Amino acid sequence: MPATPARPDVILYYPIGYVDKREPYRESDGRIETYSNSITVCWDHNSGIYSENPIGGTYATPNPFNANRQFIALEKSFLKQLEQDPDFIQGANPYVLREKMKLSANAILAYAPDKISLQLTEESIFYTLIKDDITLYLQHCLVDELDGRDEALISIQRNNINLFNYGGSLPEAIVHIKNFLIPQYNPVPEFA
Amino acid sequence: MSLPSKITPDNIKEAIVEVRYDSNTTFEVLIGIFFQAFDDSWFYTTRPYQSKASPLPTVRQNVSQEVTLRIGSESLFYNGKINIRVLPGSFVFSCLNEYIGWAAYRPEIEKALRIVSSTGVIANWSRVGLRYISEYPGKDLKDCLKFSFSFGMPEIASETMAFRSEFNYKEVKVILNLSSRVPVAIQPAPGAPINIIPTSITDIDVIRDGLRTNKVEDLLNIIENCHESEKELYFGMIEEKFLTTLKPEY
């Protein structure tokens, strides 16, 4: 029987819920690769242009709609707190602060957290993120003191055991978070 | 046969409505026009673009220094109930938090589409898509749906299963994805051990393509028809015994 020619318009994706076990992250810690709380949905050509290719592991395709919800919730919280504390940073342009918040919030939402919160602290934005048994703290310092780049402090814990700390520029901090938590590509746009 | 207007719990994880459009105005200008048209009950924000996943599995050591600048952002409108992704050629609606039910969801979509339509910049509404995804933690698909699966060796029972079908139903194209007992990890509380819960999924994507209209009334009727088809398919598939556990309201 002759082989059936492949349809040129069909792109093969893993099925919904496929667990890619080729590259378990933090294998040495005995962690298992999971779909926490929600199944990764293949936003493939079903619905058009917001396609995501699920190849690459659990975190390759965080649900874009959940991420948008969390992003909106963070921004609302930020604006509310900024409104309550107009002197949060003397002389700072609220528009610039808002755009800076978007960058750091957006970067850590790539981790598809189960829970995330935001708190304005002294001249910084403090994020607390929970994903599975990992808790991540990110302090985005909004006032640069050295080279004009935003700075950040991160601390990653699992079950109250400290796993990783870092202090440096925001983009570098985000890269470290990515390397630690997300075994795949992640963009870090720097605030221009 | 009358279909339930509400079930509890509805198990709906996502309810997406996508409406595609053609316009003779460039997208950057459209965003400004839409921003002017939406009243103060709507909020506007932008979110920096997300990356696509790497097309091939990557090795951690090789990606450690990859940093990419991608300029631009995605436009979002939202009110207290829904949010709208405004993309070149399409509007994508979803609920702001959990699913609010079609009776509340549809008027919000209608409100937004009437605002957009009133700007006069939409030359054509070209496509409507509704996609409802439901999850059933701890359940086998055959306990939820009138569905069974076997292949050449009927003595083998699948532990986990995924099924995809594309077909035409009335005036719509349907892409149906069903999955049974996919392992999902849930942590009941911070610090608690992770539980693996086998979860089943129904994913019904109803599409009406090739539209040629710029009238918002026509568009709203098509969305309503698509939703009706979505409901007919879902309640047509659902196991009657399981349906009774969902407290259907008619």
Residue A84 lies in a domain: yes
Task: Provide mean pLDDT across the span A79-92.
Answer: 88
Please name the residues between 129 and 168 in chain B that touch chain A, using a CB distance below 8 Å. Answer: 129, 131, 133, 135, 160, 162, 164
Contact B13, B137 (CB under 8 A): no
- Say if A186 is an interface residue toward chain B (CB within 8 Å): yes
**pLDDT single digits (tens) A26-80:** 333 333 333 333 344 444 333 332 333 333 223 334 567 888 899 999 999 999 9
The residues of chain B scoring below 50 in pLDDT are 52-67
pLDDT averaged over every residue in chain A: 68
Residue A121 lies in a domain: yes
Residues of A in contact with B56 (CB under 8 A): 55-56
Q: How many angstroms separate the CA atoms of A37 and B187, rounded? A: 8
The domain of A105 spans 64-181
Residue A77 lies in a domain: yes
Q: How many angstroms separate the CA atoms of B224 and A25, rounded? A: 44
Torsion of CA B148, B150, B154, B155, to 10 degrees: -70
Residue A125 lies in a domain: yes
Q: Which residues of A52-78 are buried (b: 16+ CB within 10 A; e: fewer)?
A: bbbbbbbbbbbbbbbbbbbbbbbbebb
**pLDDT single digits (tens) A117-136:** 999 998 899 999 987 778 89
- Say if B179 is an interface residue toward chain A (CB within 8 Å): yes
User: What ipTM did this prediction achieve?
Assistant: 0.82
- Say if B181 is an interface residue toward chain A (CB within 8 Å): no
Strand order of the β-sheet with B43-48 is B43-48, B73-78, B82-87, B90-95, B12-23, B122-137, B195-208, B172-186, B161-169
Residue B230 has what pLDDT? 95
Is there a contact between B16 and A71 if contact means CB atoms under 8 Å apart? no
Q: Closest chain B residue to A57 measured between Cα atoms?
A: B57
Residue A152 lies in a domain: yes
Q: Which residues of B213-229 are buried (b: 16+ CB within 10 A; e: fewer)?
A: ebebeebbebbebbbbb
Closest CB from A72, A184, A190 relative to B69: A190
Distance from CA of B120 to the nearest CA of A (A): 24
The enclosing H or E element of B115 equals helix B102-118
Cis omega before residue B48 (within 30°)? Answer: no
Q: Closest chain B residue to A108 measured between Cα atoms?
A: B50
Residue A113 lies in a domain: yes
- Say if B54 is an interface residue toward chain A (CB within 8 Å): yes
Distance from CA of A51 to the nearest CA of B (A): 8
Residue B237 has what pLDDT? 95
Residue A147 lies in a domain: yes
How many domains is chain A partitioned into structurally? 1
Residue A42 lies in a domain: no
Closest CB from A15, A23, A103 relative to B57: A23
Residue A158 has what pLDDT? 82
Higher pLDDT, A15 or A176: A176
Query: Chains A, B: CB contacts under 8 A, how many?
Result: 187
